[in-house]
Structure formats: structure tokens, C-alpha cells
């Protein structure tokens, strides 16, 4: 597989046992020079409530424990964003990694800004991008951000201005690498005319496959590293979601209004989870680990972001960093998904 660095397996993992019995696979992040583990910890959910896309209340102590456990289990990168919890997730990441003898790579994002009323808007103006970077550096407690990404390509007319400023930040040493998130191929081409796009972060799961048609082939051809988010569809495919839980999500959990957590899709999605559970049982893996492994099967994917609001949740998905589906199992999933209503 092009762009992949294979790390020797030491033994098979049982989810209830320590991942250190087996080294997590590492992959090249495109042509950036970074070698990242197949899994990285995502911190959207630990930002807590109090903003439009919060996941409900979060215990900060459990959040910090989740970050530290992810690093202890071998993940060498953490993905966050300024907007998660309106700065709070970055603060928690900073607290969690402070004093670590070997610090993981820290990836964060800009372009979503908020006002005094906690209302979120978009800006890719040069001055805004720089202010966001400086604020993120302070919250994270680091001298440089390992990978700085444009979170959303909005406003579209400001892409060139924002990307030019990202390039300046890299040249000044405030960030080491620059990438984008949620961009189309055409938008990446526009950015690449100014400075190389080192990575893309798009949504990808067996229920969200739009990037397979054009985006993933282009990234592989151009050497753009891909780290996918929501491989478990924001918790739907973890195996922990039930119909009752979905119907009773807290008022401040954005998923209440997501079609995948509502009928008629909810019941069919939960049937898919049972298939993933059946496949996982053959290997001592959770449904969530099967869902993540499915995304990692694609040769253009460098790594997958997995969320965890507690150390226990991290332990429940970390096995996907070494587990791979065989062709027959991929075929089972493909057959089920293709029969699902659109």
C-alpha cells in the first residue's frame, strides 16, 4: 500500500487487554514527512455544552484522562479545534499533554469564530486566521502547532487569503504543517496554487461515502494525506447507541437533530450495527472498531479520528489501530449498506 509504514505486530489484541501487546500501525501523512498512528484522538465531544454543536455536559477530569489514556495506548496525535467548546477543548488538550516526556502531535483548526454571545461565524481573513492561531497556541501551551487546518472553506471567496496566511504562519514557525478540512477538490486546487496542501480532513464512514468518487483518488494521486473524521458516525456505529438512547439525547446534544439518529434511518442503522457486532465477535472486537477498520481499508486514508469522552471509551475503540477486515467481511458490509434506503 503506497504511503504506509507497517509496524511489526507483537500479538492479537483483546479489547479488554492492553494495546501495548501490539504496536499500532503507523502511516505516512501524505508527503508531509509526518508518520502518524492509524488512530488519533478527536476532541469535539469533550468541549462540552454551551455552544451550537456541543455533545452535552462533559466531566473535564474524564476528558483529560481520555487524552492521557489515548497517548498511553500508543496514539501519537490528537485532533482538536478552536471552536470545540469555544476554546475549552484546546485548553483541556493543553492541560493533558503538559509535562509529558513524549508529547503527541497536536492538530487543530481555524476559520470558525465566535462572538461575545457565543454565536459561531466564519472568517478566513488573514488577520482573523493569525489571531486564531495565536489564541490556540496560548490555550494549548505550545510554541508551534504540528498541523494547522482550515476547518471549513467558508467564506469561499476568502479561501486564497486565508491559505496565504496559513503559509506565512508555517514559514514563521508558528505552525509546522498546514492542511484543510471539508474542502472539495476544486477548493484544494485553488489553495495548492498558493502553497502545497499537506492534508485533508473529511467526514468518512460506511454511511457517508461521498469522498470515494473524486476526493480520495485525487488526494492519493497528489500525495495529500487524509485523516478522516466521524468514522463511527458520531457514535451511531459504536455499538453503545440504542433506539431509546437516541430518542432521549440531551437537549444540548446536536445529534438530536441529525437524520441518522432519527427514524426511519435510526432503526436501519442499528441493524447495521448488529452486523458489525457479529463481525467483531469473530475477532474479539467491538462494532465501533469494525466501523473504524472499514475506513482504514482505503489506500488513500492515512488515519482515522476516534472520539473518546473517558478512558474507558478510548479503550473500547483503540483496537481498530491494528485490526483489519478481510475481503469477505468487507463484502458482507458492502452488501448490507448497498441495500439500505438512501
Catalytic residue chosen out of the listed positions 84, 105, 148, 204: 84
Q: Which residues contact 44 (CB under 8 A, 6 or more apart)?
A: 53, 55, 81, 84, 89, 307
Q: Does the active-site annotation cover 84?
A: yes
Q: Which has the closest alpha carbon to 149: 55, 77, 234, 67?
A: 77
Which letter does DSSP use for residue 104 in this model? P
Report the b/e string of 243-270 with b at 16+ CB within 10 A: eeebeebeebbbbeebebbeeebbebbb
Q: Which has the closest alpha carbon to 33: 191, 158, 194, 196?
A: 196
Q: What is Dmax (Cα atoms) for the chain?
A: 53
Q: Which has the closest alpha carbon to 181: 82, 272, 68?
A: 82
Residues recognised as catalytic = 84
Amino acid at each position: 500500500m503506497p504511503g504506509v509504514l507497517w509496524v511489526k505486530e507483537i500479538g492479537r489484541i483483546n479489547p479488554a487487554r492492553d494495546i501495548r501487546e501490539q504496536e499500532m500501525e503507523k502511516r505516512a501523512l501524505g508527503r508531509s514527512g509526518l508518520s502518524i498512528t492509524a488512530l488519533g484522538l478527536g476532541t469535539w465531544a469533550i468541549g462540552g455544552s454551551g455552544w451550537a454543536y456541543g455533545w452535552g455536559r462533559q466531566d473535564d477530569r474524564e476528558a483529560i484522562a481520555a487524552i492521557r489514556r489515548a497517548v498511553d495506548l500508543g496514539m501519537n496525535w490528537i485532533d482538536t479545534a478552536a471552536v470545540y467548546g469555544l476554546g475549552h477543548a484546546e485548553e483541556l488538550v493543553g492541560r493533558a499533554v503538559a509535562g509529558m516526556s513524549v508529547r503527541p502531535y497536536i492538530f487543530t483548526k481555524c476559520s470558525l469564530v465566535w462572538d461575545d454571545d457565543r454565536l459561531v461565524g466564519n472568517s478566513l481573513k488573514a488577520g482573523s486566521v493569525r489571531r486564531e492561531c495565536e489564541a490556540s497556541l496560548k490555550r494549548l501551551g505550545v510554541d508551534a502547532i504540528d498541523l494547522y487546518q482550515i476547518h471549513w472553506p467558508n467564506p469561499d471567496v476568502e479561501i486564497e487569503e486565508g491559505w496565504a496566511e496559513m503559509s506565512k504562519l508555517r514559514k514563521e514557525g508558528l505552525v509546522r504543517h498546514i492542511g484543510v478540512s471539508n474542502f472539495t477538490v476544486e477548493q484544494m486546487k485553488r489553495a495548492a496554487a498558493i502553497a502545497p496542501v499537506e492534508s485533508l480532513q473529511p467526514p468518512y464512514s460506511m454511511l457517508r461515502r461521498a469522498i470515494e468518487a473524486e476526493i480520495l483518488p485525487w488526494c492519493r494521486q497528489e500525495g495529500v494525506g487524509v485523516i478522516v473524521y466521524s468514522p463511527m458516525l458520531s457514535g451511531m456505529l459504536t455499538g453503545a447507541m440504542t433506539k431509546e438512547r437516541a430518542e432521549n439525547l440531551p437537549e444540548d446534544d446536536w445529534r438530536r437533530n441529525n437524520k441518522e439518529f432519527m427514524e426511519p434511518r435510526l432503526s436501519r442503522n442499528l441493524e447495521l450495527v448488529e452486523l458489525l457486532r457479529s463481525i467483531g465477535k469473530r475477532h474479539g472486537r467491538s462494532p465501533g472498531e469494525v466501523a473504524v477498520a472499514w475506513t482504514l481499508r482505503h489506500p488513500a486514508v492515512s488515519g482515522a479520528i476516534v472520539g473518546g469522552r473517558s478512558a474507558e471509551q478510548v479503550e473500547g475503540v483503540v483496537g481498530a489501530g491494528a485490526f483489519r477486515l478481510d475481503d469477505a467481511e468487507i463484502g458482507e458490509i458492502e452488501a448490507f449498506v448497498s441495500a439500505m434506503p438512501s
